[in-house]
Amino acid sequence: MPRRDDLESILVIGSGPIVIGQACEFDYSGTQACRVLSEEGYRVVLANSNPATIMTDPATAAATYVEPLDREVLAAVIERERPDALLPTLGGQTALNLTMELVEDGVLEAHGVEVIGARPEAIATAENREQFKAAMIEIGLEVPPSGFAHSLDEALAVADGLGYPVIVRPSYILGGSGTSIAADRDELLGVATAGLAASPVGQVLIERSIAGWKEFELEVMRDVADNCVVVCSIENLDPMGVHTGDSITVAPAQTLTDVEFQAMRDDAFACLRRVGVETGGSNVQFAVDPADGRRLIIEMNPRVSRSSALASKATGFPIAKIAARLAVGYRLDEVANDITRATPASFEPTIDYVVTKIPRWAFEKLPGAEPVLGASMQSVGEVMAIGRTFCESLQKAVRSLEQGRAGLNADPAERPFDGLDDETLAARLRRATPERLFEVESALRRGWSAEEVAATTTIDPWFVRQIGRIADERRSLEGSSLAGLDRARLRRAKRLGFSDAQLAYVLGSTEAEVRASRLALGVRATMKTVDTCGAEFEAYTPYHYATYEDEEEVRPSDQPRVVILGSGPNRIGQGIEFDYCCVHASMALRAAGYETVMVNCNPETVSTDYDTSDRLYFEPLTSEDVANVLDAEARASTGAGSVTGVIVSLGGQTPLKLAGSLPPGLVLGTSPASIDRAEDREQWNALCEALAIPQPKGGTAMGVDDALAVAAEVGYPVLVRPSYVLGGRAMEIVYDDHAMRRVMTALADGLLAREGGVTAERPVLVDRFLEDAVEVDVDALRDRTGEIHVAGVMEHVEEAGVHSGDSACALPPQTLSQAVLDQLDRHTRALAEELLVVGLINVQYAVKDGTVYVLEANPRASRTVPFVAKATGVPVAMVAARLMVGATLSELRAEKLLPVRSDDPGHVSVKEAVLPFERFPGVDTLLGPEMRSTGEVMGIDRTFGLAFAKSQLAAGTRLPHDGTVFLSLADRDKPAGLEVARSFSRLGFELAATLGTAGYLRDHGLEVSTLVAKIGEEGLAADAVDLIANRRVHLVVNTPRGRGSRADGQHIRRAASRHRVPCLTTLAAARAAAAGIADTAGHPFAVRTLQELARRELTTGPAPR
Amino acid sequence: MRSRRPAAADEAERQPALLVLADGEVFEGEAAGAPCPVATGEIVFNTAMSGYQEVVTDPSYAGQVIAFTTAHIGNYGTNAADDEADRPACRGVVVRDLTDPPSNWRSTEGFEAFLVRHGIPAMTGVDTRRLTRHLRDRGAMPGAFGTAAEGELRRAAAEALPTDGRDLVAEVTTAQPYQFGTGPFRVVAYDYGVKATMLHHLGTLATVTVVPAGTPADDVLALEPDGVFFSNGPGDPSALPGPVATAADLVGRVPIFGICLGHQVLGLALGGSTYKLPFGHHGANHPVRRLATGHVEVTSQNHNYAVGTVPGTEVTHVNLNDDVVEGLRSLSAPLFSVQYHPEAGPGPHDARYLFDEFAALMAGA
């Protein structure tokens, strides 16, 4: 069955902002799908609120709506575009849920929109746990014993019947959010209450716990003719009980006999057929009892997923791309396998290597969240590594994480584990935590038996024994010297995945010596190919990984090549924005005649799609692994071909940190020396002084005494931050000596010290903190001739003190005077010139009382680049990449990559951060200098108010149009808060306030209808938490006291977060919200495509007031 | 207190070994399995990711050394239920990483112990991907491996026999007839090296009399079977003039179903030809189109030879990777056969309907 010709336009819904459980894998999938559908000649209409995606590049779809993913907004899109079909299976849970809402609302039926890929009935069967369970039992598959509950009483009855422990899973949720284990009745009460609240349909599934069973996933595809294939089997190293998104996972499955595997395959297909997934990819999860092989089906996702992205990268079989083709009528056997070209996609990939995925968590950024893994996903990113053996891939994955580990122990960071006594270690092994893997190795190295470790951890003995091989190898190397190792010994260690840094640590040598020594003995990395077929057929796709074998497979090239170093795993502070920049660099350089070589280890991304660059090396971003790639590329150079250079400035801090290990001549763009000048405090101060650019006063400190001295000199409050970190890691505003001592002590030890806390080379920066200043971000481009293009000036909504990544911002700036704008422009140009930037520079400023202070400059791509590009229509990262290989701005204007004139865009763009607090109920939602957002959304409209309201809706906050606003303000905020309260009052809102705030408002003539008690004031007035829980207030404005306990008001913020009442923690945000509510009052949002905006076709919605 | 483990270093204790191909290509590794200074055979690669025990015990591998492309082999051990024959018929096993001890509730013996018990030599630590690419480009070829010196292995590799023109069925066929199964039909199965899973499926349809490859047609017909089955088996069909003549004798007189070597023997018996594939099909992921419905089956395959054109038949199944004929049906006689393995073991279950079709053929006759 060929392409469906009865369809002309197809609506694709993206997954929106990066959140825990839904990350850039949906940009990868969605981008592939949009491209395929466009290639097939369909008009693709895309809706996605996330500006930092390749998917929302104007070239990816015919009509791109960067608009909130909300049922009403999508209805408006459908109304305008009248698509023939909607493809809901590529935008994660978000797109599935929205599709179901649109079905319920009758919007699709009203406009004759056909849902393709997965029919609504199929989505309902898969997503509704009750229906799913019934369907599976109907076809003879076993499911975990369970029952449904819609109330607390029902929950108790079900759980009592099943026996404890039980798992409580809310229906229709994403990434296991709200899923918890209850060990007894008492725990169930709390867990079931939360679960019922989390489920959009108020339903929970209560399952008998099968924690400790083996966990498997099959990635399967089905076409319209019922051809089914398994693309990949995945085995979880962490057994049932740890969410699969938080589990270390391995492909292919390692411990199933063929008899068991084929039975599981049959079950997966039966499940797909029963659920009714007509075309596309699905993920089916199973639990297997290690004692007798009993197999239960856990769940299925009738869409592409995080696992399908992993499976695509693990096998080379592009699931999303093929799913898109199947959705428009093709059959698997009508789609060619890109990699072999000769064979069709109706086969099952076989792989001759092992793939390991390890999640990356961000517990260090979320004080109050306990770093224990469970049924609810908490990781913010992941890495994947490919090796010829499990040991090799595991160790490569560990060093890909960039958490200061050179591999599975055998590095200085192993000491804390080795220092534990046996009993403590055993106790820790029982709990799944991010560190357990290292504890397993430490226990095995002590001589514990694999059986004992397996029994303690419930990790399958096969994996434990493999880790034991690493422990044994390390023990056998101890006491040897580098000189004493022959080729066979070194080769064996490298084949078990040991890095040169680990070997140097164990052998008492240096990394450079280990490398030199093994290269002299002929022990070098060879590049193998990911080819879907175990080498049975010739592969044409240059997708490589390094291992220690006989033969290398990189094809020779006689072209100039640029190596682009990617940004590694997603983490808070460094996410999809940097992948976007790397992908754009690859696109721009390929278009300019270069071959591009991508190095990255993040399986979720577009950069690690084998289609993105001319070559892909799926490798950790360490100096050793990157050197291996450069060596392989040098060996593969023929004729005039050579590596022109390496781009290190588009992937965030990760590649930048590697700049020093590269041959200096190869670093493209701004020189490493300039990067140091901006980063090194002394040099930076001298530079600012020479340029006469004001800075907040400050100094550097190596210890507590230094820090106290600096603070005494510049005066409190001060901002304290370590150097060379991203995302405001450990950054704090300090108001007194006592707090300073606490902060400096924390920086000196533990995890923080490892990440780059206080050392002589990396001192702590202590600066005067400018309270109430407006923060501004500027991104600019400079070419080798010195011409400068200011790409974007962004005014932050939240005042200085909130990390720029967590703050909303507007482009163009909304409140800055021309004089201030002129200062910003002048300073930015002076800095770019002085640093001899070639490419991008980002400068952060604080504006206070008309003076522009520079806070920091980073001569590299910043997180704001994709937002600037979307807001202005200028492909900033592409331009930067071209500048780095020598093009000039005037040449790029001639090519039309850059507009000749930069006009006012004619619309306002607002970026809003998306925070993960829903996942971490114990964490304070107060914004501060440490970044905690996982993603961002963009709102675009004619006025700031409209754009801000859209950005809030896109971030999941529907601003109320009436009701009660609850204000609880710090004393210093009261004067300004009065104005905000007045605006809300004018808009018709009732006011509620805590006693102090209420008194102030009443004194100034405002009516406060509800008095709210603070902690310790019970009995006098209404309880804040009750008001919020009962939805008697509709918007909360809670600003903390600048000085003293940050915990003040925390119970209010937590309650708001738990009950999903919008909560603003700065007056600036409250002011913006009032503007948004005013501008949107009584009107639906008007929607426009990026393509229209680029043509200046502006929204014609309601006239702003 | 805790059981302290000795610092076992398996990998350090293995003896170095070499694999030398007939064209002189050399591969490094370590000796494993049954001790053997020089083992020889035709080297073939198998791409299945699970089912090494079934593969190693498949009698069709007689005369061959199996190189697995999957990195880790041995993970889940072995068990009696997964044997495809009493003993392996292959000449050796080459892997990237032999992992012992196993982890699986079904396992009763580690894979290496199993190899040792059956006297099968093995080699581990080999760059099997390089080996696969070499065989893919140059074709399956004989080779020798073991702990002997390189020169000795080179001589052995040069002298080692390919499977072409050799009757390897004689090595693996049953010496005496025996009964199997309890199904309603009566089937006689020619054992050219029949797999246990195949018999298991036939046994649910029929009471099966398994007979030696050389059993004359009249003896078979004397058993008054509802159908005759031609099994899989090793090697070159053109080296089996006896079985081909016997098959020709039976065509048209009784419903017939053939698999793999049985399919090739029937192809020759019907006047068709066979040829050797460059490196064969050995794996569990080959897409085959069933022409009657257009449906694609993911199939288990293990053959080096294939059937060309056969007069008086229609092609029923085709390999989508390389268009090799995967299934035939006679236009005049009650007969059909497939090149691939519908019984699986190891492999996907997509084509098990063929056993039902055999039952239907017998019922209709």
> What ipTM was assigned to the predicted interfaces of this complex?
0.97
Residue A176: what pLDDT? 61
Residue A729: what pLDDT? 73
Residue A1066: what pLDDT? 84
Whether A343 has its CB under 8 Å from any CB of chain B: the answer is: yes
Nearest by CB to A254, which of B27, B72, B136?
B72
- The 3-state secondary structure of B109-161 reads ECHHHHHHHCCCEEEECCCHHHHHHHHHHHCCEEEEEECCCHHHHHHHHHHCC
Q: Which of A257, A394, A537 to mutate to test the interface with B (most CBs of B within 10 A)?
A: A257
Give the A window 924-943 contacts with B, CB below 8 Å.
Answer: none
Whether A1046 has its CB under 8 Å from any CB of chain B: the answer is: no
Longest dimension (CA), chain B: 76
Stretches in chain B below the pLDDT threshold 70: 1-12, 365
What tokens does B228 get?
A: 């005759």
DSSP string, A977-1016: HHHHHHHHHHTT-EEEEEHHHHHHHHHTT----EEEEPTT
Strand B39-46 relative to strand B16-21: parallel, antiparallel, unpaired?
unpaired
**Of all helices (H) and strands (E), which one includes residue B263?**
helix B261-269
**Of all helices (H) and strands (E), which one includes residue A38?**
helix A25-39
Smallest CA–CA distance from B322 into chain A, residue: A343
| Cβ-Cβ contacts under 8 Å, B15 against chain A | none
- The 3-state secondary structure of A235-279 reads EECCCCCCCHHHCCEEECCCCCCHHHHHHHHHHHHHHHHHHCCCC
Smallest CA–CA distance from A291 into chain B, residue: B105
Residue A1019, pLDDT above cutoff 70: no
Whether A478 has its CB under 8 Å from any CB of chain B: the answer is: no
Nearest by CB to A256, which of B10, B45, B50?
B50
- CA A767 from chain center: how many Å? 30
Give the B window 245-264 contacts with A, CB below 8 Å.
Answer: none
What residue type is A128 in one-letter code? N
Whether B316 has its CB under 8 Å from any CB of chain A: the answer is: no
pLDDT tens digits along A725-740? 666 677 888 989 998 9
Whether B106 has its CB under 8 Å from any CB of chain A: the answer is: yes
Residue A750, pLDDT above cutoff 70: no
CA distance A745 to A97: 47
* Cα first-last separation, chain A: 55
Average pLDDT in chain A: 92
| Cβ-Cβ contacts under 8 Å, A331 against chain B | 296
Q: Which of A326, A536, A537, A551 to mutate to test the interface with B (most CBs of B within 10 A)?
A: A536
Residue A756, pLDDT above cutoff 80: no
* C-alpha closest to that of A231 among A160, A335, A75: A335
What tokens does B175 get?
A: 């010496």
What tokens does A1091 get?
A: 């393509």
* C-alpha closest to that of B93 among B55, B67, B126, B59: B67
- Low-confidence winner among A296-310, A755-769, A955-969 (lowest mean pLDDT): A755-769
Residue A472, pLDDT above cutoff 60: yes
**Of all helices (H) and strands (E), which one includes residue B217?**
helix B217-222
Grouping H, G, I as helix, E, B as strand and the rest as coil, residue A187 is helix
Residue B127 near residue B27 (C-beta atoms within 8 A): yes
Residue A297 near residue A267 (C-beta atoms within 8 A): yes
C-alpha distance from A463 to closest chain B C-alpha (Å): 9
Residue A1048: what pLDDT? 59
- Burial (CB < 10 A; 0-12, 13-18, 19+), residue B326, is buried
- What percent of chain A lies above the pLDDT cut of 90? 76
What tokens does A385 get?
A: 């590594």
Nearest by CB to B71, which of A290, A354, A476?
A354
pLDDT tens digits along B119-142? 999 999 999 999 999 999 999 999
Is the pTM higher than 0.90? The answer reads: yes
| Cβ-Cβ contacts under 8 Å, A553 against chain B | 133
**Of all helices (H) and strands (E), which one includes residue A938?**
strand A935-941
Residue B55: what pLDDT? 98
* C-alpha closest to that of A724 among A703, A692, A745, A747: A747
Q: Do B70 and A448 touch (CB under 8 A)?
A: no
- Burial (CB < 10 A; 0-12, 13-18, 19+), residue B219, is middle
Residue A838, pLDDT above cutoff 50: yes
CA B198 → CA A61, A353, A769, B176, B208, distances in Å?
52, 31, 79, 18, 11
What tokens does B102 get?
A: 């196993």
Q: Write out the E strands in A648-736.
A: 698-701, 718-722, 732-734
Nearest by CB to B103, which of A225, A255, A549?
A255
Backbone angles phi, psi at A411, to 5 degrees: -155, 170
C-alpha distance from A681 to closest chain B C-alpha (Å): 50
Residue B309: what pLDDT? 95
Residue A754 DSSP class: H
Whether B13 has its CB under 8 Å from any CB of chain A: the answer is: no
Domain boundaries, chain B: 11-159, 169-363
* C-alpha closest to that of A967 among A1010, A1020, A928, A907: A1010
| Cβ-Cβ contacts under 8 Å, B9 against chain A | 472-473, 476
Residue B229 near residue B208 (C-beta atoms within 8 A): yes
What tokens does B124 get?
A: 């581990």
**A596: β partners:** A562
Residue A846 near residue A773 (C-beta atoms within 8 A): yes
Residue A1012, pLDDT above cutoff 90: no
| Cβ-Cβ contacts under 8 Å, B347 against chain A | 258, 262
Nearest by CB to A346, which of B70, B133, B320?
B320
Please give the angle made by the CA atoms of A892, A893 and A897, to the nearest 5 degrees.
Answer: 65
Catalytic annotation present for B36: no
* C-alpha closest to that of A594 among A564, A555, A624, A631: A564
pLDDT tens digits along A964-986? 999 998 887 888 899 999 999 99
pLDDT tens digits along A554-570? 999 999 999 999 999 99
Q: How many residues does chain B have?
A: 365
Strand A543-547 relative to strand A1010-1013: parallel, antiparallel, unpaired?
unpaired
Residue A655: what pLDDT? 94
Q: Write out the E strands in A771-822.
A: 774-782, 788-799, 809-811
Q: Do B99 and A447 touch (CB under 8 A)?
A: no
**A852: β partners:** A847
Of these residues, B42, B260, B281, B317, which one is catalytic?
A: B260
Neighbours of A524 (CB within 10 A): 17
The model's confidence at residue A755, banded by pLDDT at 50, 70 and 90, is low
What tokens does A160 get?
A: 């009592």
CA B159 → CA A336, A988, B60, B164, distances in Å?
42, 97, 22, 14
What tokens does B303 get?
A: 């053959």
* ω into A290 cis (within 30 of 0): no
Whether B272 has its CB under 8 Å from any CB of chain A: the answer is: no
Q: Which of B14, B21, B50 to mutate to test the interface with A (most CBs of A within 10 A)?
A: B50
Q: Do A351 and B49 touch (CB under 8 A)?
A: yes
CA distance A429 to A467: 14
What tokens does A131 get?
A: 């229906």
- Burial (CB < 10 A; 0-12, 13-18, 19+), residue B50, is buried
What residue type is B16 in one-letter code? P
Whether A461 has its CB under 8 Å from any CB of chain B: the answer is: yes
Residue A905 near residue A812 (C-beta atoms within 8 A): yes
CA distance B150 to B165: 28
Tell me the Cα Rg of chain A.
28
pLDDT tens digits along A420-441? 999 999 999 999 999 999 999 9
Residue B210: what pLDDT? 98
Q: Do A254 and B51 touch (CB under 8 A)?
A: no
Nearest by CB to B96, which of A291, A388, A536?
A388
Q: Count how many Cα atoms sit within 13 Å of the Cα of residue A118 in the half-sphere of its side chain.
A: 36
Architecture of domain B11-159: 3-Layer(bba) Sandwich (3.50)
* C-alpha closest to that of B56 among B31, B19, B81, B93: B93
CA distance A290 to B1: 26
For the domain bounded by B169-363, which CATH number is listed? 3.40.50.880
Of these residues, B30, B42, B84, B343, which one is catalytic?
A: B343
Residue A496: what pLDDT? 98
| Cβ-Cβ contacts under 8 Å, B287 against chain A | 333, 343-344, 346-347
Catalytic annotation present for B152: no
Neighbours of B238 (CB within 10 A): 16
Residue A900: what pLDDT? 82
Residue A928, pLDDT above cutoff 90: no
Whether A239 has its CB under 8 Å from any CB of chain B: the answer is: no
Smallest CA–CA distance from A493 into chain B, residue: B11
C-alpha distance from A350 to closest chain B C-alpha (Å): 6
Residue A131 DSSP class: H
Smallest CA–CA distance from A290 into chain B, residue: B105
Residue A1093 near residue A940 (C-beta atoms within 8 A): yes
| Cβ-Cβ contacts under 8 Å, A262 against chain B | 344, 346-349
C-alpha distance from A135 to closest chain B C-alpha (Å): 22
What tokens does A458 get?
A: 């419930």
* C-alpha closest to that of B14 among B36, B27, B29, B30: B30
Nearest by CB to B72, which of A389, A472, A551?
A389
Whether A385 has its CB under 8 Å from any CB of chain B: the answer is: no
| Cβ-Cβ contacts under 8 Å, A350 against chain B | 47-49, 69-70, 283-285
Catalytic annotation present for B343: yes
Nearest by CB to B103, which of A460, A468, A537?
A460
Backbone angles phi, psi at A639, to 5 degrees: 50, -130
Residue A347 near residue A338 (C-beta atoms within 8 A): no
Q: Which residue in this structure is represented by tokens 């072209």?
A: A559
Whether B102 has its CB under 8 Å from any CB of chain A: the answer is: yes
Whether B299 has its CB under 8 Å from any CB of chain A: the answer is: no
Whether A456 has its CB under 8 Å from any CB of chain B: the answer is: no
Residue A484: what pLDDT? 94
- The 3-state secondary structure of A385-447 reads EEECCHHHHHHHHHHHCCCCCCCCCCCHHHHHHHCCCHHHHHHHHCCCCCCHHHHHHHHHHHC
Q: Do A333 and B344 touch (CB under 8 A)?
A: no
Residue A38, pLDDT above cutoff 90: yes
What residue type is A730 in one-letter code? A
Residue A1105: what pLDDT? 35
Residue A705, pLDDT above cutoff 60: yes
| Cβ-Cβ contacts under 8 Å, B294 against chain A | 225
Residue A539 near residue A340 (C-beta atoms within 8 A): yes
CA distance A765 to A702: 9
